[in-house]
Amino acid sequence: MGGLDRSVMRLPLVAVVALALSACASQKFRPVSDTPVRIGKPYTVRGVTYTPAPDPNLDVLGYASWYGSESGNRVALGERFRPKWVTAAHPTLPLPSYVEVTSLETGRTIVVRVNDRGPFARGRVIDLSRGAAEQLGAKRAGVIPVRVRIVDPPEKDRKRLRRGKPARERERVSDQALANLRAQLAAGVRQGLVQAP
């Protein structure tokens, strides 16, 4: 009788595990594609309202962080989150978008595909995937100063990013230009125009 009771008690647990596994297997992800582009409605996170919109002149200085996991493994665009891919999160750009991210520490510049929303932390202008942080040389640092500019890369680079491969690395910023960008960022922080993390 004790054995019968245990087996009866196990059945619901087995059923729950089976249901959970079938739910995971049936989870649908959007195929990785640049169409259709999604803008989305305004949304509020932690009391701040964000209004997604195209920004053809986006060129900002600020701070980037990186993330290696994503809740539910799904990004805002509906695609599967792949930490090793060169992707990023931005609070308002259309999804997907492409941006050029320059590390103000090293001058290294990469192209990143934006397919997620965020970051929602003080002073951050973009959240990089682990793959993007590694390509930028920023994985060891939690937060780095960056310049983020909207770009329209050639289809060859877009295709590589859609397949999880990095786009061709761009030329490093010259020492003089890098010093100028750092000075602009420092001035922005002093004037309260840029939030330091």
Per-residue model confidence (pLDDT) at position 8: 38
Asked if pLDDT for residue 142 goes beyond 70, the answer is: yes
Per cent of the chain over pLDDT 70 is 84
Angstrom distances, CA of residue 60 to CA of 17, 125, 140? 47, 8, 23
Cα 25 to Cα 27: distance, rounded to the nearest angstrom: 6
Asked if 76 and 113 touch (Cβ cutoff 8 Å), the reply is no
Question: Does residue 40 come out as left (phi exceeding 0), alpha (psi in the -120 to 50 range) or beta?
Answer: left
Per-residue model confidence (pLDDT) at position 117: 95
Work out the pLDDT band at 16, boundaries 50, 70, 90: very low
Of the candidates 62, 63, 87, 83, the residue with the CA atom closest to the CA atom of residue 71: 83
Per cent of the chain over pLDDT 90 is 70
Q: Which of 6-10, 79-83, 161-165 has the highest mean pLDDT?
A: 161-165
Q: Kindly give the residue spans of alpha helices, DSSP state H, lying in the chain.
A: 2-26, 130-136, 155-162, 175-190
Amino acid at residue number 73: N
Q: What is the pLDDT of residues 27-70, one digit of tens each?
A: 689 899 999 999 999 999 999 999 999 999 999 999 999 987 76
Per-residue model confidence (pLDDT) at position 59: 97
Q: CA dihedral defined by 152, 172, 110, 55, rounded to 10 degrees?
A: -40
Of the candidates 117, 113, 126, the residue with the CA atom closest to the CA atom of residue 167: 113
DSSP strands (E only) in 14-156? 43-45, 48-50, 59-67, 87-89, 97-103, 109-116, 124-129, 143-150
Asked if pLDDT for residue 10 goes beyond 70, the answer is: no
- pTM assigned to the model: 0.83
The tokens describing 47, both together, are: 């009391």
Q: CA dihedral defined by 56, 62, 63, 68, rounded to 10 degrees?
A: -10
Lowest mean pLDDT across 8-22, 67-81, 92-106:
8-22
Per-residue model confidence (pLDDT) at position 123: 82
Residue 38 buriedness (CB in 10 A; 0-12 / 13-18 / 19+): middle
Per-residue model confidence (pLDDT) at position 70: 65
Q: What is the pLDDT of residues 153-195, one digit of tens each?
A: 999 999 999 999 999 989 999 999 999 999 999 999 999 988 8
More reliable by pLDDT, 137 or 141 = 137
The tokens describing 72, both together, are: 């539910």
Per-residue model confidence (pLDDT) at position 72: 60
